[in-house]
Amino acid sequence: MIQFTNVNKWFNTLHVLNNINLQVKQGEVIVVCGPSGSGKSTLIRTINQLEPINDGKLIVDGKDLSDKSTDINKLRAEIGFVFQQFNLYPHLSVISNITLAPIKLRGLSKKDAEEQAMQLLTRVGLAEKRDVYPSQLSGGQQQRVAITRGLAMKPRIMLFDEPTSALDPEMIGEVLAVMQDLAKSGMTMVVVTHEMGFAREVAHRVVFMDAGTVLEEAPPEEFFCNPQTDRAKQFLNQLLTPMHGATCN
Amino acid sequence: MTILSNFQVIADNIIYFFVGRWPEGPLGGVGLTLYLASASCILSIFGGLILGLLSVSKKKWISWPSMLVINTIRGVPLLMVIFWMYFLLPAIFGKVITETRTVILGLTFFTSAYMSQIVRAGIEGIPKGQMEAAISTGLTHWQAMIYIILPQGLRNMIPSFVNQFVSLIKDTSLAFIVGVSELTHVATQINNRTMAFPTEIFFFIAVVYFIICYAFTSLSRNLEKRLEWRKAI
């Protein structure tokens, strides 16, 4: 589904992605973690080309991103992206936030798009908020609407860039619950997060990054109980809630 | 007593000051001033939108020439632009263009450059995440501009548009140089006819300009406050 082959990226002289090789299969849930500045956000943003790569090969949903003939807008419609800062459109109501792209790009009628949006809103528990504006919602609610906005395009891949980092602690759970539900439904997901409980429960693999390179790539049990590199050990020790230690022998 | 009686010249010509020879003849005076300013303002909002959108383009071959045009216009006095239009337009179109239209085109051309910078600032003031979110759903750059960025940006641009309109009202006085009978031109006509009361006449039109401009400046200040309040919610 997603294939990085020797991918490199520089911001001027800063080598943010250093020879990345990574594969994500259909239906897989991948959690990317690592210290800030390790390139994990940049990595996830290259998948829908919010950041173009400088070197190497990146294939997403069968399309080569460095190929000029790839229609990037068409590809992005197949990839949902959830931001740390939600980025809902403040001038549009919740329902319009969700239905804008399906109406403009999928050719859905307003009625069909709204019907579909209401199904999704019901699933994330926000059906009664359909006509409210984003500023009237809590952070957790905004993020659930943002996830719904992504799902409304019926994407084949969902990307999450630190979806809970801007939330108050008591709102993190409601967003993670939606993501867990999504993971169980078989969605291909790449999630940049520090929520190790989430990683442990739903991830198929954890990718640990530092200084632009992938240092470790392992199933969560293996990564949390038996990290191979000192850098990963150090990182895991510094996390405030070491849930990963709970069931290690 | 004599000072007051001198103002009789204003009272005698008050209708002429405000509407010229309208409705029997063409509109003039304050009416024409407001017409010139409004027409140029509306046209230059469109001109400014186009120039502004081109100037924020990521493609250098689009943004660079539009910035060149904008900076060239901003580096030339308005009076030059009006003269330029006055002699250039007939040469281009091969027929006579009325003075009023010449002035509207000159003002539009000139003001579009300033409007474009308001548009540019309005667009750049919208957080980057909005564009990213929009294109992430598959919208093209232009669709994102039209449905997401501009509707938010335009709201922020409204006070600046009103300020630019106030500048336009004052700038219309330059139309007198090519013989368009707006307020300043009407004043010089009356002054030339009566020959005795230049102080009273030009004092009066200064007050008229001030009252109109002050009204719109207050409006713009109110709008700014209202928008501020909306943002805070």
CB neighbourhood size of A62 (10 A):
9
Asked if residues A215 and A209 have their Cβ atoms less than 8 Å apart, the reply is yes
Q: What is the pLDDT of residue B231?
A: 55
B129/A85 Cβ within 8 A:
yes
Q: What single letter denotes the amino acid at residue A50?
A: L
Q: What is the pLDDT of residue B227?
A: 76
Q: Give residues with Cβ within 8 angstroms of B108, minimum separation 6.
A: B39, B40, B43, B44, B47
Closest residue on chain A to B155 (Cα): A91
Asked if the peptide bond before residue B151 counts as cis, ω within 30 degrees of 0, the response is no
- Collapsing DSSP to helix, strand or coil, A247 comes out as coil
Contact residues on chain A for B122, CB-CB shorter than 8 A: none
Give me the total of CB pairs closer than 8 Å, taking one residue from chain A and one from chain B. Answer: 62
At B162-181, the pLDDT tens digits run: 999 999 999 999 999 999 99
Q: What is the pLDDT of residue A180?
A: 95
- Pick B130 or A66 by higher pLDDT: B130
Contact residues on chain A for B140, CB-CB shorter than 8 A: 73
Mean pLDDT by 10 residues, chain A (249 residues): 95 94 96 94 96 95 92 96 96 96 96 97 96 95 97 97 94 95 96 93 95 95 92 86 57
Homologous superfamily (CATH) of B2-232 is MetI-like (1.10.3720.10)
Q: Give B215 to chain A, closest Cα distance, Å.
A: 29
pLDDT bracket for residue B232 (50, 70, 90): very low
Contact residues on chain A for B143, CB-CB shorter than 8 A: 104
A50/B136 Cβ within 8 A:
yes
At B37-95, the pLDDT tens digits run: 999 999 999 999 999 999 998 899 999 999 999 999 999 999 999 999 999 889 888 88
pTM of the model: 0.86
Rounded Cα distance between A232 and A237, Å, is 8
- Of A165, A171, A234, residue with least CA distance to A193: A165
B137/A48 Cβ within 8 A:
no
- Collapsing DSSP to helix, strand or coil, A225 comes out as helix
pLDDT at B125 over 90: yes
Q: DSSP for chain B?
A: -HHHHHTHHHHHTHHHHHHBTTTTS-B-HHHHHHHHHHHHHHHHHHHHHHHHHHHT-S-HHHHHHHHHHHHHHHTS-HHHHHHHHHHHHHHHHSS---HHHHHHHHHHHHHHHHHHHHHHHHHHTS-HHHHHHHHHTT--HHHHIIIIIHHHHHHHHHHHHHHHHHHHHHHGGGGGGGT--BHHHHHHHHHHHH-S-HHHHHHHHHHHHHHHHHHHHHHHHHHHHHHHHHHH-
Q: What is the pLDDT of residue B233?
A: 41
A105/B147 Cβ within 8 A:
no
Q: Give residues with Cβ within 8 angstroms of A55, minimum separation 6.
A: A6, A7, A8, A9
- Of A40, A108, A93, A142, residue with least CA distance to B129: A142
Q: Which residues of A touch B (CB under 8 A)?
A: 48, 50, 73-74, 76-81, 83, 85, 87-91, 100-101, 104-105, 135, 146, 149-150, 153
Q: Give B59 to chain A, closest Cα distance, Å.
A: 16
Q: What is the pLDDT of residue B7?
A: 83
- Of A1, A15, A3, A5, residue with least CA distance to A211: A15
Contact residues on chain B for A150, CB-CB shorter than 8 A: 136-137
This model of the complex carries an ipTM of: 0.93
**CA A145 to chain CA centroid, nearest Å:** 15
